[in-house]
Amino acid sequence: MGDPLRGMMKSLSALVLMTGAACLLCGVKASYNIGVGIADVTGPCAEVGFMGYGKVDQKGKGLHTRQFSRAFIIDDGKQRLVFVSVDGAMMGTGLRREILARLQKVYGNLYTADNVMISGTHTHSTPGGYMQNMFLDVSVLGFVRETFIALMTGIINSIRNAHETMTKGRIYMAQGELLYANINRSPTAYLANPPEERAKYEYDVDKTMVQLKFVTESGRPMGAINWFAVHPTSMNNTNHLVSSDNVGYASVLFEQRMNKGYLIGKGPFVAAFASTNLGDVSPNTDGPRCEFTGRPCDVHSSTCSGKREMCFASGPGPDMFESTRMIAEKLDNKAWDLWNGKDSEEVTGPVKSVHQFVDMPSQEAEYYDPGSQTSKTVRGCLPAMGYSFAAGTTDGPGTFAFRQGMKTENPLWNAVRNFLASPSQWDKKCHYPKPILLATGEMDFPFEWQPRIVSTQLALVGNVALACVPGEFTTMAGRRLREAVSSSVSGLRSKNVVVVGLCNTYSDYITTPEEYQVQRYEGASTLYGPHTLTLHLNQYKKLAENLEKNSRLDSGPIPPNLSDDLVCLVTPVVFDTPKWDHRFGDCISQPPERVESGMTVTAKFVAAHPRNNLTHGFTYLTVERYDDASRRWTIVATDANWETRFHWIRVSPILGTSEALIEWTVGPDVVPGNYRIRHYGSYKYIFGGIFPYQGTTKIFKVINPRSGYRG
């Protein structure tokens, strides 16, 4: 190379270096590889118990809104992180294990326990039977394979869809206050926390929504993850329609804003409203009242003076459907403000993640008692549930003569408890002051009742930390976790630490030691004793220090595989028969010939059991409008839309006959014209085989009297 050319190359290299330095100085950031994906995970919507309220008689009778899994992949060129928010009650260790095993068959070691986070939204109106812990599956009558498969395949598909859409992009973080969307359902327990600690916070629940915004390098919107502390319990324990509840509908609303012209679950933009430290947080903002008198309940015990009068919370709407809609709209509107706001900061820096299984009863940690101003070594207990757990919450009251705040044992209930398993003296001492109602750590028939080994995981995406926690942290427990993680990573602000709730494993509640002493529902459901949170804080500090030092961490003890021990008592579908002198799909109750905006159109069909085909990626119903220009029928709504409801009615269990009642509420923005409703299903033939069918109503006209259109 000649000297002039060499000099030119040196000058060019210097210019490149100077340009790069100048860009760094002026704030140009390196982008990530980002992928987003969504997939249907709707479980069996008929004759399978719901997971959440623990009511044996709360079984599915149809569909309110579909369940979806929403996946986000972030890759910095060296490491990647997968975050999944799924419309489900929670995540189970066995389910996550199977998901990872199947991913690794396709992608090798690209997706592992270290870098895959799966978080349940915690809706209480979805099918259960997939947790593989006896305590969590007992109210659903055991393991339900259909639910397990629906969640597993849907979550895998959402990750696969995210994997296939990966492109260069940027991430922005925004935070903002949202009021009148949540309240503390255990305020007396919260007040047990130190006054000087409570004085640091304005509210007894977190009012801050945190948003991660994903866009391509060209600025095209890709997706968003929003975290806001609220229980998806607007749909109460009288509901029998599968529903993603308030946070699930908020996701749909946000996606509908961005995916114009797409059916729900089909558009490229993906929006998750994921769970965080929601343990003591209720969406029922009108607060708890006595069932018949409407008077305020006793604030500590959540009881009423009437012997048969229950205490429950409701609001802000007149019924559970309106309350769900109103909370969802509040969440959606705030997320939209954050998306369009100017106060967001770009997320930059490497992606790191670490995971470790922990045997909670064997853990030890140092605890500083502010009361005595001394430190001591504390350890975990075998899992156990207290008396107040049976009282339920003001979102879903329990049964029998239990109340919240119970600290005194009852000989009769102890006798019932001891028939199952007696707690040892060590159990009683370890869990004090919790009176043990179920010594689940001593119970292993027919298989493990509650987990001893839990998943703990922490990830850093630049200057944002995601603490994936195996349960429901209360408000103050989550605040302490954020402080603990931020104090262990240099330069990390506590407000940039996100508590990712109900993640990977479910081990019920995590309260502060002070809240535990009060023994409200949350404290009674804190499995590993009064210092469950203390042990978690110690563990997440260790995970944070590991990420800070880039050191290796062992995987910890492997949870038992219970797949071969599972029991199912849910009756299978044996066969279907149509109504006498009819065929499957026949419409036996037609809509009126003309309907107006605001009216609810109904149609009834001869149907089969919905469990024959969960119609993933499709629907049990469509509302269709005839397009005069194209001379085709266009789908305007499916069973994933808020304005539709699918009711399954069992006419005769002996004969196997059933009906489908479909409702469609005509919104104000519906285009006038000719419409029809279609029903899709599959029937099980008595001699074997499952076969599809469909049915269609007569054509009816939608008119809009305000515009003068009469069709």
Cβ-proximal residues to 320 (8 Å cutoff; 6+ apart), any chain: 234, 235, 236, 238, 239, 314
Cβ-proximal residues to 494 (8 Å cutoff; 6+ apart), any chain: 482, 483, 485, 486
Helix H or strand E encompassing 20: helix 3-25
Q: Is 227 exposed, middle or buried (0-12, 13-18, 19+ CB in 10 A)?
A: buried
Q: How many CB atoms lie within 10 A of CB 707?
A: 9
Q: Is 459 exposed, middle or buried (0-12, 13-18, 19+ CB in 10 A)?
A: buried
DSSP state string for 615-667: -TTS-SEEEEEEETTTTEEEEEEETTSTTEEEEEEEEETTTTEEEEEEEEE--
In degrees, rounded to 5, the angle at the alpha carbon of residue 160 between the alpha carbons of residues 223 and 551 is: 85
| Paired strand residues for 648 | 660
Beta strand 657-665 with 600-607 is antiparallel
The token pair at 279 is: 């343990």
State the Cα torsion 487-522-363-429 to the nearest 10°: 130
Q: Is 25 exposed, middle or buried (0-12, 13-18, 19+ CB in 10 A)?
A: exposed
The token pair at 711 is: 């069709």
The token pair at 493 is: 């602000």
Helix H or strand E encompassing 500: strand 497-500
Q: Quick check: 504 and 354 in contact, CB under 8 A?
A: no
CA 448 from centroid of its chain's CA atoms: 24
Strands (E) located in 147-294:
167-177, 183-184, 208-216, 221-227, 270-274, 281-282, 287-290
State the Cα torsion 148-150-156-160 to the nearest 10°: 180
State the Cα torsion 260-264-268-270 to the nearest 10°: 110
Q: Quick check: 624 and 678 in contact, CB under 8 A?
A: yes
Q: Which residue has the tokens 């923005």?
A: 669
Cα separation, 602 vs 591, whole angstroms: 6
Q: Examine residue 288 and say whether the peptide bond preceding it is cis (omega within 30 degrees of 0).
A: no
Q: Examine residue 692 and say whether the peptide bond preceding it is cis (omega within 30 degrees of 0).
A: no
- Amino acid (1-letter code) at residue 55: K
Cβ-proximal residues to 545 (8 Å cutoff; 6+ apart), any chain: 488
Q: Quick check: 495 and 386 in contact, CB under 8 A?
A: no
Cα separation, 156 vs 39, whole angstroms: 8
Helix H or strand E encompassing 337: helix 320-340
Q: What DSSP designation does 206 have? A: -
Cα separation, 503 vs 546, whole angstroms: 20
Helix (H, G, I), strand (E, B) or coil at 472: strand
**Residue 282 is among the residues annotated as catalytic for this protein:** yes
Helix (H, G, I), strand (E, B) or coil at 347: coil
Of the listed 119, 125, 243, 282, which one is catalytic? 282
Active centre residues (catalytic): 282
